[in-house]
Chains A and B, each alone.
Chain A
């Protein structure tokens, strides 16, 4: 069994991701297509929410992955700080735009869903507001990457920001619950609960979640390859200017 740290070698990472990417993109596309078509065309309406329940197949997976993308960035930042593997720092950079897109999807589908169900596009509910704050964290993180020219300095500073931001994101979450009891329902899926949503909605939702996870992994791989190349390009540029 190969150690996970072998991927820390950019050459190794490029070779493995080159072989894995076609599979990942195919699987992600297939899972998304199956899940969304299944959800959109072949599931019944909810007896209270009508056909708006179909939005769940986009809303829940994107919201889950918006948070998971940040957690992945946090882990990658920690690995960069502790072990100084470049691939790790670049993977964190590559994941941020994906995370912010998922956050926007979760917010947009939530607003569209909220309009008929709650009668409002937006409410200052803890869950909604924490996603708005998560969005701001993503923006700040990406802006810091953009602003710093030297890639190693940028990797260090964004990693520190990611760590501190994570702590404050958790504090904000509890502050918001304290601030306002919400309109949003509780968790849709949890392992310890007897009563999740009904099976007809549950299985296509699982396929959609798998699709979003696979799409995230495929895009992170692809974008990390781009970042590795960009970093090499930067190094060559420096060398050329020195000669």
Chain B
């Protein structure tokens, strides 16, 4: 760990907040992407069989 001096809380919380937001964005995008992809595959299968 580098010595952050008096502002350790500020710097670390800025990094934590930002990385958490970015992670949330990526996770949400992938989650929705997977769900839509599966739903579309189901629908296309129905279309072929039905």
Binding site for B on A (CB under 8 A): 36, 40-42, 45, 50-52, 54-55, 58-59, 62, 97-98, 101, 104-105, 108-109, 112-113, 115-116, 215, 219, 222-223, 225-226, 229-230, 232-233, 236-237, 239-240
Pair A51/B40 contact, Cβ less than 8 Å:
no
Which residues of chain B have C-beta atoms less than 8 A from A59's C-beta? 14
Q: Are A226 and B36 in contact (CB under 8 A)?
A: yes
What are the residues of chain A within 8 A of B47 when measuring CB–CB? Answer: 236, 239-240
Taking CB atoms, residues of chain B closer than 8 Å to A62 are 18
Q: With A108-B17, A112-B13 given, name 20 new contacts (CB 8 A).
A: A50-B7, A51-B2, A51-B5, A51-B11, A54-B11, A55-B14, A58-B15, A97-B29, A101-B24, A104-B21, A105-B21, A109-B18, A113-B10, A116-B6, A219-B26, A222-B29, A225-B33, A229-B40, A236-B40, A239-B47
Contact between B33 and A52 (Cβ–Cβ < 8 Å)? no
Contact B21 A101 (CB under 8 A): yes
- Tell me whether A230 and B10 are in contact (CB under 8 A): no
**A101 touching B17 in the complex, CB below 8 Å, given contacts A115-B10, A232-B40:** no
Q: Which chain A residue shows the least CB distance to B26? A: A219
Asked if residues B29 and A233 are in contact (CB atoms below 8 Å), the reply is: no
- Cα–Cα distance between A25 and B2 once the two chains are bound (Å): 28
A62 to B19, CA, bound (A): 11
A63 CB, nearest partner CB in chain B, Å:
12
